[in-house]
Structures are given as C-alpha cells and as structure tokens.
C-alpha cells in the first residue's frame, strides 16, 4: 500500500482541477471537508459510491486504479452502509502521513539552514585565495558593496557581503552562499537573473564571464580569506525615540490664551482660534445670516434640510438661546444617529458583500450598521463604543439584549472585504487578520500598522514584531463572517446566533408555509438535475453544472435562514475566542511559507508605555481596554479630529487617517490637545463634543470671501471664516426626497441584501438601482462592494473596502448629467411642482416657497427676476395643453434649483 498516501493526497489536491485553479499553496490544500463538499453532489450529507467515484476522477492515479479506489472506500465506510458520512470521509487524512504544515520546516529548508554550519571550511589554498582576490572580491566591491556592506548607507535585505561570515549567513531570505552547492546559494540565483523576485544587481545583469567565475568559486567551496564578524544589521526600531513624536505624547490641557479682542470669543475654542487669526493680522468675517446658519446646522447634525416652518420659527426667534435650542433639539433627533453613524460607517469600511475578486453577499452585515446608528443616537461613550467593537463578546452584559448588541458590535472585525476565492487557508487567515489590523489601527489610532506586515514600517516606529504581536491576538480569535461553500468560495464560516431575547429586529418577513413548500420543491428539482448531470459526467466544469450547484446551495442557505416555524433566525457577523489562543510567528516578507519564531501577543509598543499583560484568552479584551484608555494618546485625538472635520470642513490634523510621520502635524496643537482632554473628561460623550464645537463663535461665522483673509490664508487653516462644503451624496438624495415629501423616515426591515440571502452578489447587483426604487434614507440603502448606487457614488461615496475619514470632493460632468437627466431627480422636482401648483398661491409666493424648501432661504430680487424670466419663456415640451406645460416649467425650475450650486453646497 505504499502508493496509497500519495494517491489520497491527489484525491484532495485534484479537486482544485474542478475549479480550474491552483497555486503555490496547493500542497496545504488537502482538505477533506472541501473534497467532501464538492463530492457530495446531491448535498444529502454523505458520499454515495457513485459520488465517490466521480470524486476520484480528480485524482489521476486513483482513476487509473479503480481497485485501489474501491479498497479505500471500503476501509473508510466503517459502518458498511455503502455511504461515506462526513466523519467517515474525514478519516482519509489518517490513511496518509501528515503533510508538513506551514510551521514545520520542510526537509529541504532544514538542510539549507543547517548547511553553512554543518560543513566546516577547509583551509584555503593559495590558488583559491588568488582566485578570490582576482575574480570575486573586485566584483563584490564594484557591484554589491554599495548596498550590502557595513559601509553601505543603507543595508538592503539584511545582507552584508563584505565578510566571510556575512556572505555565509546571508540576509533575510537565507544564506547567500552555501559552499559547493550552486542550487542553494541564493547569490548565484540572484546574479543569474532567473528568478524574478531575486535579481541582483537589480538594474544590470553581470556579464556571463563574471557569473561563471562566481559559479566556479562556489563549486570550489567558496574559499574566502576575509575575516571579521558579520556586521549585525541593526534593524531594531528605536521605540523610545519614536515616542518623542507629537502624536505619541499624551495630550495636555492648556490654558486658553487671551486674544486682543475681548468681546468676540464665546468659548475657549474661540480664544485659541482667534489668537492665531489675530497673530496673522486678520479678523474673522461677519457671522452667517440666520438662514445660512440654520441650513448649516441641519445638514451638519442630521443630514436633512430644515422645513419652512422650522426656518420661520428660528428666524423669528430673537432670544439668545435660539441657536442652542435648535442644536439640542437636533442632537436628540433619531436622524442624528443616521447622519453621524454614516460617518463612522465610512471609517469602518462598512459593506454588505465581500467585494474583492468574487463578490459574495453578507446578508447579516446590516445589524452592525444599525448598532452604529443606535450607538450615536444613545450617545454611547466613545471609549465603550471602541471596546465593544473589538471585544463586545467578552464584556459583561446585564441582559440578553445587551449581550446581543455587544456581539453585533464585533461585526466591525468581520465585515471587511475578503478574498473568498483564496485557496490557501493560511493565506486567507493571514489576509483576514491583516485587514483587521489595518481597520483597527486606522479607525481607532490613525496609524497604518498594516504597513509592517512585510517589513518594519518605513516611516513610523512600528516594527514587524509589533505587527505580529497584534496579529497573534486576531489569530487567536475566530472571525464569523458567514457565506456558504460554493464554486469560487473556498472560505466560509459559521455566523453567531444571537441570544433568545436579543431584542434585535428580524430583518426579514417570516417564511410562510406556502413559500417554504415552493422553496423545497425548487430544491428537489435542482437535486434531481444535479444527480442527472453527475451521471452524465457534466457536473464539474460545465456552465450548467456550476449554475445548478450554485443555485442549489443558495436555496438551501435561504431555507436555513428560517426556523422550522418560519421565523427568521437572528444571526450576526462578529468574532469569538478560539479554544486555544496562540502567538503568531513572524512571517518574513509577509510570505506564508517563511514563518520565523513566535511573537508574544501584544500591542503596538510606541503608542504607550502601559502595555497590557496578556496571559490567557486571545488578548482582545486587553487590546480593547488598552485602545480605549486615557493612557492611549491617540484614540481621543483621532476621534476629536474627525468630529472637527465634519463640522469645520478640514481636520485640525489635515490627514485624519494618518497620525504617523507621513501625516501632517496639527494646525492648532494646544487647541487640539485641549479638546482631546476635555472630550475624555466629559465621559467620552460625542454629543457633548459636537455641542461644544457648534456653539463656538467660529462655527457660526459666515463663509464669505474676504480679500485679506484669502491672501494670508487661502486654505482657511486659521478659520477666519467657515469653509463652504459640497454636500455628500446621501445628504443630497435625502434632501431631495425630504423636500418632495417622499422621504420614508422609518428604517426598512434589515437590508435588501438580507432578502437576497447568501450567494454571489450578481443577482443583487442586477436588481440594482435601490436608490431610485426605495425612498428610505440613504444610510439604509444596501452597500454592495464593487457596485455602487449611482446617486451616492457620483458624489464621492467612498470605496467601502477602504477606511475613510474624509471623503474626496470631486466635480465631474457625470454629476451634471445626473442632476439634469436622471428620472429620480426629475420625479422629485415634479412632486414639488405639483404641490406648489395645487395651492391657490400666486407665482410670487410659489417662487418664495420653492426657494425656502429647496435652498432654505428666500430668493434675492435678482434671482426672483431670473426665475420669472425663465418660467415665462420656458419652451413647452408638450404641445397644446397649457396646464401640462405650466407643470413642466415649474418642474424644470425646481430641478434647476436642485442642480444649482446653492443646493449642492452648504455654506
């Protein structure tokens, strides 16, 4: 039976063939579960003899030897029922020796590592020394020392070639020279330029003669008369020095300065700002008029325009607390969380499909979205909000409801984009962890820790070791992201069932008995088709076979979304502890087949001196506590900066996603620290922070141009005025719906994605145009990665695979085409026109009302004249009927207001 192990290996490996994929990692891909899933053609949870035989077709040697294949079947079928259960089939791995795992060095690798020490150098003969001195040393000096010698300005790849020890020890990738062994000598490979990844010297190939000299030299045992120890390449990051950087210094509350103008400042923020404005010889511009201010605070706090009544009330209210009252009312509105939750969802790269090369649905992702909105509405203390997203599952909970909420919060770690097609489970795991590190470090710390996956961070004092310490925490965590095994989905997982009294919304209508019956019938039909295809040998590799398989699996998954009685199961994406926490090796160059040692689980050292002690468990809870602590100099600053950015148009740190060396320092360091400290003092309340900012005098300034201010500070860094901003796609769409009276404020159940269920997202994408079909607020529209909703993406909706604190603002013709031609925009304009014309008002009142509703202020005389001129001369689109053409003209007018810069911008 010597052949058996090999054949069985192939039985599993061969499965890659049916998917038409293979990669370097296929050796690790001997996964009986996967083979079982593919083999189980009728999905009855067991392999019939026929299915088993079909499976063996992928293992050429077994195919060639049916007898052996039958013997194996018999051996596996321990209960002799003629079928292989999952458990029985899984024993197949025991019929062969274990494959070397990623952590066990392969024999070849061992040999390579052992070689240099195992073979003692024989003394060099004079001829050998002469050869070295005449042929080898000059070439090394001329071609290699610049980057690979102790004298080099920067030693590349950890390799020094100026000593014998150095050349034998080699660099990051292994010994440069193994005496007598051309194949194992990386230097030889490098100079031959045969390996794309390793070509030295990088820009020019050495002449054939020189290469031949090196080969001869290695063959003769690489005689090397040079002495001296291999210079230890000091790659350690100086953490202590790194901590001197401003962002890693703890924030301190400073005493606000006293500006010259004693009357202007209303709050400490104003005192900090005005002092700087004065220092530049400038003066803040006049305050915004009441219409502008009201529109500003409405869009900034709830993302919707004020109604004509609200405008009238505010304009007519001359009490000193008029503005403050509006602010407090808006902060209490449920619309607040919908607006500010969306800002966080940009940061959390929220999406409801996997994105990447093959896009699978995440039908339960919306729960995280709802969690975020609720958290902002409830003014959940930000430190708690941070902790729950990292370790909510590990935090105590007083009720099932709270427990469910905290589990859903950890969806933050599960909703990122993923390459489900990846065939190497280890690669998938490391990529998943990498994405989690990237999201966690950027979202909470404003640091790009993920840069240190393959090498020490090039700019920030973050070592590769820090990265793998972090990675160990997430590798000891099980990420539950769902999806089902399908063609092109090689990585799926369970989801987390929520506790019974979770209080969570179901997200879907129940499944009626009739619908269940219909679903079951479809499933049965597909099973039959599948069996037929299997018999005809057309199941694998044919479009029909693929289609049937996918359809069957998605329908089964759909059925699985409901309890027996038809109520939808309540499931969440999230994380939980693995049974056995483990430290991660450090992967050289981030390559999965280059593990090295282990790095104890931990946090990024440079951020603070108070590193948590992780003894048991993954360390996630310790990480969460560390992240959200007052000792952490970044977490409050990063959040304060984002809030500032959403209200003032640019961050005090202009690079909100990067607080490292590649970012920019704060424009107002004392003010910034002052805010960070008071934010923490006010129990991390985001609402209090917002209130504090918008009640400043600076926030209430006009946005008018001022020649002197422009000359001295064109970017308005000093805040001598309010910076006007283009509204986001969500605000524009929601405002159009609100003004036309079509906006549905109650959130729809769950998400359209949950109704489409598991499977590839193409069906969902084809359904498309949810933004035109649904009249809910934009935050509740599905976020389908790689396929965005037009009304949002045209106005710079961020890539939901990226962590984005600050959206881009582009002005492109496609936006004009949308506003001028899109049926959605025309429909809203029509509604307003109808409403305006339905009342017995005169045109003058109608024009006023249209202006107040759409741009939230009365028109100027000139504007009124322009409107009257337009309405009088607008060509009647339909000939004849005058009421029709009147409506057309008013529709065109309302649409023109939607397209005007006054609507698109908030001043």
Q: Whole-number minimum distance, CB 507 to other proteins, in Å?
A: 26
Q: Of 20 and 506, which has the nearer Cβ to other proteins?
A: 20
Short-list 657, 660, 664, 661, CA closest to 802:
657
Where do runs of H (alpha helix) occur along 280-396?
290-302, 308-316, 322-332, 334-347, 366-377, 382-391
Are residues 191 and 206 in contact, defined by beta-carbon separation less than 8 angstroms? yes
Distance of CA 327 to the CA centre of its chain: 32
d(CA 234, CA 496): 46
Nearest distance in Å: CB 18, other proteins: 8
Assess 374 for contact with other proteins (CB under 8 A).
no
Query: Within 10 Å of residue 158's Cβ, how many Cβ atoms?
Result: 17
CB of residue 446 to other proteins, shortest distance in Å: 12
* Of positions 567, 810, 844, 845, contacts other proteins by CB under 8 A: 810
763 binds other proteins (CB under 8 A): no
Is residue 114 within the footprint of other proteins (CB under 8 A)? no
Q: Does 10 bind other proteins (CB under 8 A)?
A: yes
Compute the least distance from the CB of residue 97 to other proteins, in Å.
Answer: 18
What six digits make up the tokens of 540?
């694998």
By CB under 8 A, residue 802 contacts other proteins: yes
CA torsion angle 822 826 827 831 (round to 10): 160
- Among residues 192, 760, 770, 771, which is the contact residue for other proteins, using CB under 8 A? 760
The SS3 of residue 475 is: helix
Closest CB to other proteins among residues 408, 784: 784
Q: Helix or strand or coil: residue 613?
A: coil
Which of 531, 765, 775, 886 binds other proteins (CB under 8 A)? It is 765
Q: Do the beta carbons of residue 402 and residue 392 sit within 8 Å?
A: no
Q: Which is nearer to other proteins, 333 or 723 (CB)?
A: 723
Residue in 8, 11, 13, 836 binding other proteins, rule: CB under 8 A = 13
Chosen residue from 711, 838, 872, 880 binding other proteins by CB under 8 A: 711
Cα–Cα distance between 179 and 220 in angstroms, integer?
7
Quick one: 597 or 768, whose CB is closer to other proteins?
A: 768
Our CB check for other proteins shows the closer of 579 and 879 to be 879
Region from 15-23, 93-101, 288-296, 336-344 binding other proteins, contact rule CB under 8 A = 15-23
* Contact between residue 67 and residue 1 where contact means Cβ atoms under 8 Å apart: no
Q: Is 228 in the site for other proteins (CB under 8 A)?
A: no
Binding mask 482-511 for other proteins (x = CB under 8 A): ------x-----------------------
How far is the C-alpha of 385 from the C-alpha of 394, rounded, in Å?
Answer: 14
> Which of helix, strand or coil describes residue 24?
helix
Residue 843 vs 888, nearer CB to other proteins: 888
CA distance 756 to 558: 8
CA–CA distance, 369 with 389 (Å, rounded to integer): 12
Contact predicate 348/415, CB 8 Å: yes
Applying CB under 8 A, does 823 fall inside the site for other proteins? Answer: yes
478 belongs to the binding site for other proteins (CB under 8 A): no
Residue 189 found at the interface with other proteins (CB under 8 A): no
Distance of closest approach, residue 846 Cβ to other proteins, in angstroms: 16
Residue 811 or residue 844: which is nearer to other proteins going by CB? 811
Put residue 355 in one of left, alpha, beta given phi > 0 → left and psi -120 to 50 → alpha: left
Is residue 147 involved in binding other proteins (CB under 8 A)? Answer: no
Shortest distance, position 809 Cβ to other proteins, whole Å: 5
Spatial distance between the Cα atoms of 46 and 36, rounded to a whole number of angstroms: 8
d(Cα 305, Cα 666) in Å, to the nearest integer? Answer: 32
**Residue 787: alpha-carbon gap to chain centroid:** 15
Q: Is 125 in the site for other proteins (CB under 8 A)?
A: no
Question: What span, in angstroms and rounded, lies between the C-alpha atoms of 226 and 229?
Answer: 10
Minimum CB distance to other proteins, residue 821 (Å)? 4
Among 183, 839, 877, 881, binds other proteins (CB under 8 A): 877
Verify binding: residue 743, other proteins, rule CB under 8 A.
Answer: no
Whole-angstrom distance, CA of residue 472 vs CA of residue 604: 12
Pick out residues in 437-456 that bind other proteins (CB under 8 A): 448
Q: Which is nearer to other proteins, 479 or 490 (CB)?
A: 490
Closer by beta carbon to other proteins, 138 or else 705? 705
Nearest to 9 by CA among 52, 61, 49, 54: 61
Residue 294 and residue 276 in contact, taking contact as beta carbons nearer than 8 Å = no
The single residue among 267, 522, 531, 822 that binds other proteins, judged by CB under 8 A, is 822
Least separation, in Å, of the C-beta of 640 and other proteins?
A: 19
**Alpha-carbon span 331 to 333, nearest angstrom:** 6
148 burial level (CB within 10 Å; 0-12, 13-18, 19+):
buried
> Which residue's entry shows tokens 């992967």?
587
Establish if 464 lies at the interface with other proteins (CB under 8 A).
no
Q: How far is the CB of 369 from other proteins (least distance, A)?
A: 21
Task: Indicate whether 862 belongs to the interface with other proteins (CB under 8 A).
Answer: yes
In the window 582-641, what residues touch other proteins (CB under 8 A)?
none
Q: State the minimum distance, in angstroms, from the CB of residue 651 to other proteins.
A: 10
What tokens were used for 520? 């079951």
Residue number, 633 or 663, with CB nearest to other proteins: 663
Which of 258, 378, 521, 866 is the binder for other proteins (CB under 8 A)? 866
CB of 173 to other proteins, least distance (A): 16
Least Å distance, CB 379 to other proteins, is 28
For residues 656-695, which are near other proteins according to CB under 8 A? Answer: 657-658, 660-663
Nearest-approach distance from CB 272 to other proteins, in angstroms: 22
Task: Work out the number of other CB atoms within 10 angstroms of the CB of residue 888.
Answer: 17
Nearer to other proteins, 479 or 540 (CB): 540
**Touching other proteins, residues 505-564 (CB under 8 A):** 537, 540-542
Instruction: Give the C-alpha separation, 806 to 798, whole Å.
Output: 9
The yes or no reply on residue 423 touching other proteins (CB under 8 A) is yes
Task: Compute the distance between CA of residue 29 and CA of residue 813 in angstroms, rounded to an integer.
Answer: 49
- Measuring CA to CA, how many Å separate 900 from each of 181, 494, 726? 74, 49, 11
- Identity of the residue, 10 or 698, whose beta carbon is nearer to other proteins in the bound complex: 10
- Which of 654, 665, 669, 858 binds other proteins (CB under 8 A)? It is 654
Separation of alpha carbons 3 and 1, rounded Å = 5
| 64 lines the binding site for other proteins (CB under 8 A) | yes
Write out the H or E segment, with its range, that includes residue 595. strand 595-599
Q: What is the DSSP string of 524-575?
A: HHHHHHHHHHHHTT-SSSSHHHHHHHHHHHHHHHHHTTB-TTSPBP-EE-EE
Q: Judged by CB under 8 A, does residue 5 bind other proteins?
A: no
Span from 104-112, 508-516, 559-567, 863-871 in contact with other proteins (CB under 8 A): 863-871
Q: Is 20 in the site for other proteins (CB under 8 A)?
A: yes
Residue 240 burial by Cβ neighbours in a 10 Å radius (0-12, 13-18, 19+): exposed
Q: Is 104 in the site for other proteins (CB under 8 A)?
A: no
Q: Which stretch binds other proteins (CB under 8 A): 312-320, 494-502, 619-627, 896-904?
A: 896-904
Residue 28 touching other proteins (CB under 8 A): no
> Of residues 278, 317, 478, 799, which one binds other proteins by CB under 8 A?
799
Burial (0-12, 13-18, 19+ Cβ within 10 Å), 264:
middle
Size of the site for other proteins (CB under 8 A): 101
Q: How far apart are the first and last CA of the chain?
A: 81
Using CB under 8 A as the binding rule, whether residue 724 contacts other proteins is answered as yes
């Amino acid at each position: 039976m010597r052949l058996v192990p090999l054949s069985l290996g192939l039985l599993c490996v061969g499965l890659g063939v049916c998917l038409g994929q293979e990669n370097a990692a296929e050796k690790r891909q001997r996964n009986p579960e996967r083979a079982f899933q593919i083999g189980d053609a009728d999905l009855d949870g067991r392999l019939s003899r026929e299915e088993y035989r079909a499976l063996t077709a992928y293992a050429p040697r077994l195919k060639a030897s049916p007898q052996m294949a039958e013997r194996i079947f018999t051996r596996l079928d321990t209960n002799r029922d003629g079928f292989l259960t999952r458990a029985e089939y899984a024993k197949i791995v025991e019929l062969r020796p274990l494959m070397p795992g990623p952590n066990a060095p392969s024999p070849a690798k061992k040999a390579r590592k052992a070689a240099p020490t195992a073979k003692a150098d024989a003394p060099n003969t004079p001829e050998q020394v002469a050869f070295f001195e005449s042929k080898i040393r000059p070439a090394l000096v001329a071609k290699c020392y610049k980057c690979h010698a102790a004298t080099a300005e920067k030693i590349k790849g950890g390799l020094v070639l100026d000593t014998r020890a150095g050349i034998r020890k080699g660099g990051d990738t292994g010994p440069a020279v193994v005496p007598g062994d051309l194949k194992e000598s990386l230097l030889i490979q490098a100079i031959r330029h045969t390996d794309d990844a390793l070509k030295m010297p990088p820009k020019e190939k050495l002449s054939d003669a020189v290469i031949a000299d090196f080969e001869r030299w290695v063959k003769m045992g690489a005689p090397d008369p040079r002495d001296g120890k291999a210079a230890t390449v000091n790659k350690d990051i100086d953490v202590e020095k790194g901590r001197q950087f401003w962002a890693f210094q703890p924030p301190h509350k400073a005493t606000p300065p006293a500006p010259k103008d004693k009357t202007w400042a209303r709050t400490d923020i104003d005192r900090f700002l005005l002092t700087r404005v004065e220092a530049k010889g400038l003066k803040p511009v006049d305050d915004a008029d009441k219409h502008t201010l009201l529109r500003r605070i409405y869009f900034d706090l709830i993302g919707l325009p004020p109604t004509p009544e609200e405008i009238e009330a505010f304009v007519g209210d001359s009490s000193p607390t008029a503005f403050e009252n509006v602010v407090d009312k808006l902060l209490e509105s449920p619309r607040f969380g919908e607006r500010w939750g969306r800002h966080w969802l940009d940061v959390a790269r929220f999406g409801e499909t996997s994105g990447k090369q093959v896009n699978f649905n995440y039908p339960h992702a919306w729960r995280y979205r709802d969690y975020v909105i609720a958290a902002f509405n409830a003014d959940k203390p930000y430190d708690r909000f941070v902790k729950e997203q990292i370790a909510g599952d590990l935090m105590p909970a007083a009720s099932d409801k709270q427990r469910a909420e905290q589990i859903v919060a950890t969806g933050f770690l599960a909703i990122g984009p993923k390459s489900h097609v990846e065939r190497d489970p280890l690669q998938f795991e490391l990529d998943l962890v990498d994405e989690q590190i990237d999201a966690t470090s950027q979202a909470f710390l404003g640091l790009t820790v993920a840069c240190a996956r393959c090498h020490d961070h090039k700019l920030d004092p973050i070592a590769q070791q820090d990265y793998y310490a972090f990675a160990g925490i997430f590798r000891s965590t099980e990420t539950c992201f769902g999806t089902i095994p399908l063609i092109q989905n090689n990585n799926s997982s369970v989801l987390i069932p929520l506790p019974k009294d979770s209080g969570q919304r179901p997200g879907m209508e129940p499944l009626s008995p009739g619908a269940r019956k219909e679903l079951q019938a479809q499933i049965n039909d597909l099973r039959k088709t599948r069996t037929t295809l299997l018999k005809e040998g057309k199941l694998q590799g044919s479009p029909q076979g693929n289609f049937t398989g996918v359809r069957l699996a998605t329908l089964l998954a759909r059925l699985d979304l409901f309890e027996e009685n038809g109520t939808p199961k309540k499931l969440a994406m999230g994380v939980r502890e693995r049974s056995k926490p483990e430290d991660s090796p450090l992967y050289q160059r981030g390559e999965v087949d280059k593990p090295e040692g282990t790095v104890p689980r931990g946090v990024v050292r440079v951020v603070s001196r108070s590193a948590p002690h992780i003894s048991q468990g993954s360390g996630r809870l310790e990480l969460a506590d560390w992240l959200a602590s007052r000792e952490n100099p970044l977490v409050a600053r990063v959040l304060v900066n984002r809030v500032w950015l959403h209200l003032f148009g640019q961050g005090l740190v202009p690079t909100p996603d990067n607080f490292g060396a590649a970012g920019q320092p704060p424009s107002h360091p004392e003010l910034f620290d002052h805010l960070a400290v008071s934010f923490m003092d006010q129990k991390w309340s985001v609402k209090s922070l917002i209130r504090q900012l918008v009640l400043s005098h600076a926030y209430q300034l006009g946005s008018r141009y001022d020649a002197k201010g422009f000359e001295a500070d064109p970017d308005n860094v000093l805040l001598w005025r309010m910076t006007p901003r283009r509204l986001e796609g969500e605000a524009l769409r929601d405002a159009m719906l609100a003004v036309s009276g079509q906006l549905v404020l109650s959130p729809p159940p769950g998400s359209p994605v949950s109704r489409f269920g598991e499977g590839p997202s193409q069906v969902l994408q084809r359904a498309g145009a949810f933004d035109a079909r649904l009249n809910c607020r934009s935050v509740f529209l599905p976020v389908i990665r790689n396929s965005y909703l037009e009304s949002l993406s045209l106005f710079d909706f961020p890539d939901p695979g990226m962590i984005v604190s600050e959206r881009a603002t582009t002005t492109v013709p496609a936006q004009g085409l949308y506003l001028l031609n899109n049926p959605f925009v025309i429909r809203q304009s029509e509604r307003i026109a109808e409403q305006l014309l339905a009342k017995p008002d005169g045109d003058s009142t109608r024009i006023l009302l249209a202006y107040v509703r759409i741009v939230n202020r009365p028109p100027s005389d000139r504007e009124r004249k322009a409107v009257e001129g337009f309405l009088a001369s607008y060509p009647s689109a339909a000939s004849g009927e005058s009421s029709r053409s009147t409506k057309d003209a008013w529709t065109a007018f309302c649409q023109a207001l939607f397209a005007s810069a006054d609507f698109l911008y908030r001043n």
